[in-house]
Amino acid sequence: MKVCIAEKPSVARDIAEVIGAKQRKDGYYEGNGYQVTWTFGHFCTLKEPHDYTDRWKSWRLEDLPMIPPSFGIKLIDNAGVLKQFGVIENLVKACDEVINCGDAGQEGELIQRWVLLKAKCTAPVKRLWISSLTEAAIREGFDKLRESTQYDNLYAAGSARAIGDWLLGMNATRLFTKKYGQGKAVLSIGRVQTPTLAMIAQRQKEINSFVSEEYWELKTIYRETEFTATIDRLKKLEKAEKGLAYLLEHPFEITAFEKKEGKEGNPKLFDLTSLQVEANKKYGYSAEDTLKHVQNLYEKKFVTYPRVDTTYLSEDLHPKIEGIMRELTYYSQYTQTILSSPIPKLKAVFDDKKVTDHHAIIPTGVLPSALGIDEKRIYDMIVRRFLAAFFPECKVSNTTVLGKVGQLEFKATGKQILEPGWREVYANDNTAKKENPEEEKVMPNFEVGETGPHEPRIHHGKTSPPKPFTEATLLRAMETAGRQVDDEEMRELLKDNGIGRPSTRANIIETLFKRKYIEKKKKNLLATQTGMDLIDTIQVELLKSAELTGIWEGKLRLIEKGEYAMDTFKQELIDMVVNLTQEVKRTTGKMIAIAVEIPEKAEEKPKKETKPKTPKPEIAIEELNCPKCKNQLLKKGKTAYGCTNFQVCGFKIPFEMMSKTLSDKHVFDLLSKGKTTKIKGLVMPGRPEPFDGKLVMNASFNIEVE
C-alpha cells in the first residue's frame, strides 16, 4: 500500500479522485493501492524552552542565552491535530511507500518532514512536485514522482529558518522584556518582524522631523507648452519676482528639439510579492488578503502555485502556452492577437536559470466559475499580466525641448504612445486607469532658433515630507532589504537577500498589527507609540538592520541550493545570540511601558481596532510640570503627555495603558500623588482575566501596576 500525505483535506480529495482512491475512511481515502490522508497546516513545532528544562519555565536574565544541546519537535496540543496525526502514524507504520504530497515549497516540505519524523517513518519516501492542482498536472506529477532526497536541502533550509527564528526570538524577547520591560508586559523581538518594524518607525521619524520649506519656480508658456526653468528652486520670493521681471523683458527662443522613438518593455509576470503590491495599489487589499484569494484560486485549479518569488517561466512550459491561451475564452479579444502567430520563446519570459522550485503565477486554462468579486479581481489581474507578457511592445515617442529667455534656460518633456502594444490588454481596465493615469503630453514640432512671445509666471510650492509606507511599498522594501529600487532587473538580483519570504511577509505585517506595533490609516502604515518605543529601546543595530537580516536570508537561500552548511548557519546564530545577550546585559537604559502582547491563539481574525479617544480635558494637566526634569508638560501628538524637553528627558504618560484609556484625573493623580485610584478591567499577559489595580509611578518615573 502507498500512503499519500497532502497538506489539506481538499487537496487530498482532489488527489484521491485522480488516482482512484475513492473509498472514504475515517481520516483518509483508500482505493487502487493507495491511501490518501492529510494534515491541515502545521502539526509539529519546535519544542518550547520549558520542554528542555524546568529552569527555563521562568523568565530570568541569568538563564540567558537559552541554547538547547539539540533541537527537538513536538506535536501541537490540539485535539484535531492529535487525532489526525494518529491516523497518519498508523497508516505510515503499515505502508510500503510514502508519497509526500505536501505544498511544493519550503514551508510545505518542513510541515511534512516533521510529521514523518514524529511518526517514525521507516518506509521509502517519494515526492509529488506539481505547480497546479489540475487533473492533468496531478497525473503528470504521479507519472514523474521524485526521490524525497532531492529536497533534503529544501528541508535543511526550512529547519535552519525555524531554528534561527527560535534562537533569536526566544532569547531576544526574554532578554529585552526582562531588561527593559515594565511589569509583565512583553517586548516581542523577531528576526524579520523587528527590522520590518524598524523600517516603518524610521520612516515615521523622518516624517515627524520633516520641516516643510517654501520654494518658488519660474515657468513660462510658449506655443501652448509649459516650460520650467532649469535653475535650482528659489528659496525667496524676492528672487523669483526679480526673475519674472527679467523674463518679461525677453522673448522665448528654442535652443534644442529632440524626438526619439522608443519602446516600453512588457510587464513581468507576477510573483507573489508583485501580485500583492499591485492588488494593494489597485484595490487596497492587504498582503494577507491577496495571499488568501490567490491561494483559493490555486486550490480551485484556476491558477498555478502562488507562493513563488520568480517572474519567469521554465523553458519546458513554452509548448503549453498556446493551449492555455486557447482555453481563456473570456479573453478571446486579446488571445486572438497573440495566437495569430506562433508564441515566441521570449528570454524575458522563459529562463530556466531564474526559476527554482516553481515558475511565475499564470492561469491554468481551467475556466473559473462561481468566483466572488475579490477572487475575480485577482484572477483578472493574473490573466491580464499573462496576456500582456506575449503582446507586442508598446512604442512611444519621447520629446525633449530646450529653450531660453535671455540667459535663463528652460526645459519641457512630452511622451506620446504611438502603438499601444501590450497596453491594449489594459485599455478597458478602468481601475488601472484610475490608479495609473497615462498623461500623454503631445507636443508641437519646434524649430531650433525660432523665437516669440511667451507667458511667464511664478509657481509657488512647498517641499513634501517622505511618504509613509503602504503595504505595497513595505512589501517592496522587504523584498529589497530596505533599498529603494525601481529597476525590475536590479530587484530580481536583490531578491535572494530580501527579508522574509514571499509566503511569510504577509504574516509578518499582520503580526505587527496584532501586537499593536503598527496601525493603518487609510492605506498608510504607521508605527504606534508602542512600536516606536520598542525600536528606540533596541540599541543593538543587528536586530533592526534590514540589510543584515537580508544577509541571513541569502545564506538560507544558499542552504536551499546546497551551497552553505546548515550547521555553520546555526553556529553563527548561536554565536550572535551569545554576543547579543552579553552586550545587552552590560548596557543600561530606561524602562519602558509597552502595551500587552496579544496571545497568538487569539489571532484568527483580529477585530478592527478602534483608535483610543483623547481624554476630554477635565483638569488642566498642561499646568503641571514634568516630575523628572520639571519642564512644562504638553500633549505629544495624539498618544501621550510628555514634557517640552522630551528628546532629552524621555518622560511621558500614554493616553492608553493595559487596554484602558486613562482619564485626565488618572494622569493628574499620577503626576501629583504618584498613583491613581483603582482602575477596573486592566489587561496584562500572564493573567487570563481582566483585573482591577492602581497605576503607580516608581522612583525611576516609570509606571507600574499595584
Task: Give the pLDDT confidence score for residue 595 in this predicted structure.
Answer: 42
Q: 202, 482 in Cβ contact below 8 A?
A: no
Range of 70-79, 620-629, 667-676 with top mean pLDDT: 70-79
In a domain, 130, yes or no: yes
Is the pLDDT assigned to residue 357 strictly greater than 80?
Answer: no
Position 86: which residue type? G
Q: What is the DSSP string of 293-312?
A: HHHHHHHTTSB---------
Which of 363, 390, 417 marks a domain boundary? 390
Domain that holds residue 688: 610-705
620: alpha, beta or left? (left if phi > 0; alpha if psi -120 to 50): beta
* Higher per-residue confidence, 557 vs 548: 557
The reported pLDDT for the residue numbered 651 is: 75
pLDDT on residue 656: 81
339 is a domain residue: yes
pLDDT above 90 as % of the chain: 66
Is position 658 within any domain? Answer: yes
Residues 455, 480 share a domain: no
Residue reference for cell 546546497 = 562
Reply yes or no on whether the pLDDT at 600 is more than 50.
no
Residue 62 lies in a domain: yes
**For residues 197, 198, 199 and 201, what is the CA-based torsion angle, rounded to 10 degrees?**
90
71-126 pLDDT, tens digit each: 999 999 889 999 999 999 999 999 999 999 999 888 899 999 999 999 999 999 99
Boundary residue ending a domain (537, 553, 586): 586
**Measured distance between the N- and C-terminal CA atoms of the chain, rounded to whole angstroms:** 64
**What are residue 6's DSSP bridge partners?**
38, 101
CATH number at residue 385: 1.10.290.10
* Total of domains in the chain: 5
Tell me if 429 is assigned to some domain: yes
Mean of the pLDDT values across residues 652-662?
Answer: 80
Q: What angle do CA 283, 287, 289 make, to 5 degrees?
A: 70
H/E stretch holding 704: strand 703-705
Positions marked active-site = 305
Helix or strand or coil: residue 401? strand
| Shared-domain flag, residues 360 and 416 | no
Domain assignment present for residue 152? The answer is: no
**Residues forming a β-bridge with 695:** 705
CA-based torsion, 138, 144, 145, 146: positive or negative: negative
Last residue of a domain, one of 430, 460, 490: 460
Quick: pLDDT tens for 190-218. 989 999 999 999 999 999 999 999 999 99
Instruction: Say if residue 667's pLDDT is above 50.
Output: yes
Residue pair 340/86 in contact by the 8 Å Cβ criterion:
no
* Residue 473 sits in the same domain as residue 454: no
Q: Which three cell numbers stand for residue 618?
A: 477635565
Q: Does 290 lie in the same domain as 227?
A: no
Q: Looking up cell 509613509, which residue turns up?
A: 468
Pairwise CA distance, residues 428 & 420, whole Å: 13
Rg (CA), the chain: 30
Instruction: Answer whether residue 310 is part of any domain.
Output: yes
Q: Kindly report whether the peptide bond that precedes residue 267 is cis, defined as omega within 30 degrees of 0.
A: no
Give the closest residue to 627 by CA, choosing from 677, 675, 676, 670.
670
- If asked whether residues 260 and 406 sit together in one domain, one would say yes
Please determine, for residue 598, whether its predicted confidence score (pLDDT) is greater than 50: no
Per-residue model confidence (pLDDT) at position 612: 39
* Same structural domain, 66 and 103: yes
Same-domain pairing of 449 and 582: no
List 137's β-bridge partners, or say none: none
Please, where are the H alpha helices in 125-215?
135-143, 152-180, 193-209
State whether 560 and 449 are in the same domain.
no
Question: Do the domain assignments include residue 154?
Answer: no
Q: How would you write 450-498 as a 3-class SS string?
A: CEECCEEEEEEEECCCCCCEEHHHHHHHHHCCCCCCCCHHHHHHHHHHC
Host H or E run for residue 531: helix 529-537
Does residue 255 sit in the same domain as residue 332? Answer: no
Q: Residue 243's closest CA among 402, 410, 401?
A: 410
Distance (Å, rounded) from C-alpha 322 to C-alpha 339?
7
> HEC states along 213-273?
CEEEEEEEEECCEEEEECCCCECCHHHHHHHHHHHHCCCEEEEEEEEEEEEECCCCCECHH
CB 312 within 8 Å of CB 362: no
Question: How many residues belong to the chain?
Answer: 706
The C-alpha cell at 451 is 523665437
Average pLDDT of the segment spanning 385-390: 96
Strand pairing report for 633-636 and 640-643: antiparallel
Q: What is the pTM of this model?
A: 0.77
Percent pLDDT > 70 in the chain is 88
Tell me: the pLDDT tens digits for 217-233?
999 999 999 999 999 99
Average pLDDT, the chain: 87
Q: Which of 639, 589, 637 is nearest to 175 (CA)?
A: 589
Same domain, 313 and 369: yes
Query: Each residue of 394-420: pLDDT tens digit?
Result: 999 999 999 999 999 999 999 889 999
Q: What is the pLDDT of residues 510-532, one digit of tens each?
A: 999 999 999 999 899 999 999 99
In this prediction, residue 12 carries a pLDDT of 95
Per the structure block, which three cell numbers stand in for 86?
494518529
Residue 140 cell numbers, joined: 503528470
Judgement on whether residues 697 and 634 belong to the same structural domain of the protein: yes
CATH of the domain at 115: 3.40.50.140
Tens digits of residue pLDDT in 156-175: 999 999 999 999 999 999 99
Which CATH number belongs to the domain containing residue 251 in this structure?
A: 2.70.20.10
Amino acid of residue 505: R
List 456's β-bridge partners, or say none. Answer: 220
**Do 136 and 6 belong to one domain?**
yes
DSSP character string of 604-668: SSPPPPPPPPPPP-SS-GGGSB-TTT-PBEEEETTTEEEETTHHHH--EEESEETTEEPPHHHHH
